[in-house]
A and B are shown apart, each in its own frame.
Chain A
């Protein structure tokens, strides 16, 4: 069965901390992996990863994909309260649609 597993399911950190969110996947005909940030509204796109070992960065966020070990990580450095959200890891499967993980809830306290 195709699946995307995220860990931890929830995380509480202090402002300024660095966090790493994990995502492992077992998906047949895997095409790419996407990360979304969801606050109290629709998910917003962060990254799309298609190649192993190439880090994508956007400000304090970065992500990398390992297609051999079937996982991805999302790093957030110098966390801020505005980073508090649910982070969704999504695998794109050729021929069908997207397979979503259950998300990691990040809470950043000031």
Chain B
């Protein structure tokens, strides 16, 4: 079991470039999340997904898009990177069998992707 993996681990972009971060989990989790972590701000939710083919906005969704075409993968896209998107990005997943609400079970985090936008 690899758990939650993220690709790439590091990336440097120029302003205006685009890129996609990949998150994969092998725990058959229903829910997946993308967070960004900035100094003094804690973790902030960007987007999340409650199942294959579904996505929803979190606290700071602007400038990002996501897709969940397969249950095990959750992609985070930056269409036109800006310096304000320099951050560490964490993916997480969790399982919920109780219905449509967001799981309050433990979230398993990936190792993070450090992104710098120049």
Beta-carbon contact of B107 and A98 below 8 Å: yes
Most B C-beta atoms less than 10 A away, residue of A41, A50, A98, A102: A98
**Number of A-B contacts defined by CB within 8 Å:** 55
Chain A residues closer than 8 Å to B40, beta-carbon distance? 102
Task: Judge whether B104 is part of the interface by a CB distance below 8 angstroms.
Answer: yes
A102 near B45 with CB under 8 A, answer: no
Query: Which residue in A42, A44, A48 is a CB contact (below 8 Å) of B104?
Result: A48
Binary interface encoding of chain A residues 66-110 relative to chain B, with 1 for a CB under 8 A from any of its CBs, else 0: 000000000000000000000010101111111011110000000
Q: Which of B13-21, B62-70, B72-80, B108-116 contacts A (4 or more CB under 8 A)?
A: B108-116
| Chain A interface residue count, Cβ-Cβ cutoff 8 angstroms | 23
CA distance A45 to B91 in the complex (A): 14
Which residues on A sit within 8 Å (CB–CB) of B105?
48
- Taken together as a complex, chains A and B put the C-alpha atoms of A71 and B109 apart, in Å, by 25
Q: B45 near A98 (CB under 8 angstroms)?
A: yes
Q: Does A45 lie within 8 Å of B33, measured CB to CB?
A: no
Produce 1/0 per residue, A12-56, CB < 8 A to B.
000000000000000000011010000001111100101000000
Can you list 5 A-B contacts with CB-CB less than 8 angstroms, sorted by A residue number? Answer: A32-B104, A43-B43, A90-B43, A97-B33, A98-B107
